[in-house]
Amino acid sequence: MIPATGFEGQRVGLLGLGRSGRATARALIAGGAIPVGWDDSVPAREAAVALEGIEIADLTKPANIEPLATLVTSPGIPHLYPSPHPAIRAAWEAGVPVDNDIGLFFRAFGSSAFAEFDRPPRVVAITGSNGKSTTSALLHHILTHAGRPAQLAGNIGRGVFDIEPPVDGEVIVLELSSYQTELARALTPDIAVFTNLSPDHLDRHAGPGGYFAAKRRLFAEGGPDRAVIGVDEDEGLYLAGQLAVGPGDDRVIRVSAARKLGGPGWLVYARKGFLTEWRKSRQIASIDLREVPGLPGAHNHQNACCAFAAARALGLGPREIEAALASYPGLPHRSQRIRERDGVAFVNDSKATNADAAAHALAAFPRIRWICGGLEKEGGLGRLEPHLGHVVKAYVIGREAEAFARQLPGVEAEICRTMEAAVERAAAEAAPGEVVLLAPAAASFDQYDNFEKRGDHFAALVAAL
């Protein structure tokens, strides 16, 4: 565990007492602080008392907020849009700073022991709309395959304060969502990665501009030593242009999975299934990604480029990165191949919770029996249209299945509503060489607690065929 330092003997508020809130409480106690917690859920408050012994106080009341040194809020709690949580508003009115666990982590990371290391530990922080989990897990895999000590944490499942104190030369790989980057008062990674941008969480950020601004803070607040920037959208081009002092500034590594890049800078791109690295107008490396089973499709080739670029910035050689790519097993719920049955492949991409992510999944396979639908997000389904020609038939699930199906022009769609019906119908009708793909292009909350449970249900039904 990493202690949260800087609050010795002070009372620190915790808003949200789920997994990350309780981990932050343990870190604060280890650092000598006195955590005071609140959660709108009574069971969460009771669990925090039972598991951690946290003092509970209603932080929406000024009398409980005013004695605090700071208020630490969990990522899922809105602090500005659509409207601030009452406890956060109370903190503002009392002049109490508001932070999150990521801000506390960067504030605490580093200790006097680091002076004894030959190679100080480093932090790589990865954000973006799509692919950040795969990029984070892939970079961690590359590092461990190469024998480099590494830990993986953040939005990918392990709280930042749950990691072990780093050892000499260790790399901490953090996946960070916009919910985490928008509020952290300290953001100082050694290397920062921006994969891509597409409309998501627009209500939380009051539109696409606020969403991009939340991502941009990772690069603007602390100034990483190196930045890996996906430049296939205008926002990435803008960000790379802001960070670089000139065309040859190799502190910025530009990445693309859509086109060949040119210029004197440090470039990594994927084209026709080959990853290519250029630096100072000279080709450095080339890797064939087409036969890497854990990275199917152009969207995963972009993830490979981002992870490759970050690994190169950490000093790894192209050949050792290539060897690691070949053994990468992939992540659950992200282009995860479940099984093959009678020549039909079944792929779980339940993490494709928006249209852009689902479009990448559709582009990866030529003939698809597509299981889609759920709680539709803002931004619509327009990004799917260029790839709908790959869809043999759609099997639509969710409470709003009819409305979802009406937005798929030229696609034969069957209203199934449930996952059981969709898997049964798709499996019965699929022909050898086709793929039954779960890529919902929608959130899961109308039928499932999260995308993981949706993907697990699909996988269980496929295994039982």
DSSP string, 145-198: HTT--EEEEETTSS-GGGSPPP-TT-EEEEE--HHHHTT-S----SEEEE----
79 and 193 share a domain? no
Q: What CATH number is associated with residue 374?
A: 3.90.190.20
What values do phi and psi take at 140, rounded to 5? Answer: -60, -40
CA distance 305 to 311: 10
Q: At what angle do helices 298-313 and 318-326 cross, to 10 degrees?
A: 140
Q: At what angle do helices 132-145 and 318-326 cross, to 10 degrees?
A: 110
* 360 within 8 A of 298, measured Cβ to Cβ: yes
25 and 70 share a domain? yes
184 and 309 share a domain? yes
Would strands 252-256 and 274-279 be described as parallel, antiparallel, or unpaired?
Answer: unpaired
In total, how many domains does the chain have? 3
430 and 459 share a domain? yes
Token readout for 397 is 């699930």
User: Which pLDDT score, from 0 to 100, does residue 293 have?
Assistant: 81
Q: Judge whether 177 lies within some domain.
A: yes
> Coil, strand, or helix at residue 255?
strand
Q: Judge whether 2 lies within some domain.
A: no
**Residue that has been written with the tokens 């930042």 in this structure:** 160
Beta-sheet strand order (sheet of 368-372): 336-341, 344-348, 435-438, 368-372, 391-397, 413-417
Token readout for 71 is 């208020």
* DSSP state letter for 438: E
> Coil, strand, or helix at residue 311?
helix
282 and 187 share a domain? yes
CA distance 387 to 9: 58
Whole-model pTM?
0.85
89 and 121 share a domain? no
From 326, 348, 367, give the residue that closes a domain.
326
Q: Which residues on adjacent β-strands are paired with residue 175?
A: 126, 154
173 and 116 share a domain? yes
Residues near 458 by beta carbon (within 8 Å), at least 6 away in sequence = 338, 348, 350, 371, 419, 423, 438
Amino acid at 395: Y
Q: What CATH number is associated with residue 22?
A: 3.40.50.720
- Residue numbers in the known binding site for ATP are 128-134
* DSSP state letter for 107: H
Token readout for 198 is 């597409």
Q: Judge whether 3 lies within some domain.
A: no
CA 377 to each of CA 79, 381, 417: distance values in angstroms, whole numbers, following the listed order? 20, 9, 18
Q: Judge whether 414 lies within some domain.
A: yes
**Neighbouring C-beta atoms of residue 415, cutoff 10 Å:** 16
- Helix segments in 378-450, DSSP class H: 401-405, 419-429
405 and 360 share a domain? yes
User: Which pLDDT score, from 0 to 100, does residue 156 have?
Assistant: 87
Q: Burial, 251: exposed, middle or buried (Cβ in 10 Å; 0-12, 13-18, 19+)?
A: middle
User: Which pLDDT score, from 0 to 100, does residue 112 have?
Assistant: 61
Q: End-to-end CA distance of the chain, in Å?
A: 43
CA distance 334 to 195: 15
What values do phi and psi take at 255, rounded to 5? Answer: -130, 140
* 253 within 8 A of 191, measured Cβ to Cβ: no
Q: Judge whether 453 lies within some domain.
A: yes
Q: Is the peptide bond before 149 cis (omega within 30 degrees of 0)?
A: no
For the chain, the C-alpha Rg in angstroms (whole number) is: 23
371 and 422 share a domain? yes
User: Which pLDDT score, from 0 to 100, does residue 464 have?
Assistant: 97
Torsion (CA) 231, 237, 238, 240 in degrees, nearest 10: 80
Q: Judge whether 318 lies within some domain.
A: yes
Q: Burial, 112: exposed, middle or buried (Cβ in 10 Å; 0-12, 13-18, 19+)?
A: exposed
Torsion (CA) 352, 462, 330, 395 in degrees, nearest 10: -20
Low-confidence ranges of the chain (pLDDT < 70): 111-113
From 37, 71, 99, give the residue that closes a domain.
99
Token readout for 89 is 């508003």
225 and 258 share a domain? yes
191 and 244 share a domain? yes
Q: Judge whether 331 lies within some domain.
A: no
Token readout for 12 is 């620190």
From 69, 99, 129, give the residue that closes a domain.
99
CA distance 433 to 343: 6
Which residue range is the domain that position 285 belongs to?
A: 107-326
- Residue numbers in the known binding site are 128-134
Would strands 336-341 and 344-348 be described as parallel, antiparallel, or unpaired?
Answer: antiparallel
63 and 187 share a domain? no
Q: What CATH number is associated with residue 299?
A: 3.40.1190.10
User: Which pLDDT score, from 0 to 100, does residue 19 have?
Assistant: 86
User: Which pLDDT score, from 0 to 100, does residue 223 have?
Assistant: 85
Q: Judge whether 37 lies within some domain.
A: yes
CA 153 to each of CA 20, 102, 332, 408: distance values in angstroms, whole numbers, following the listed order? 11, 11, 16, 37
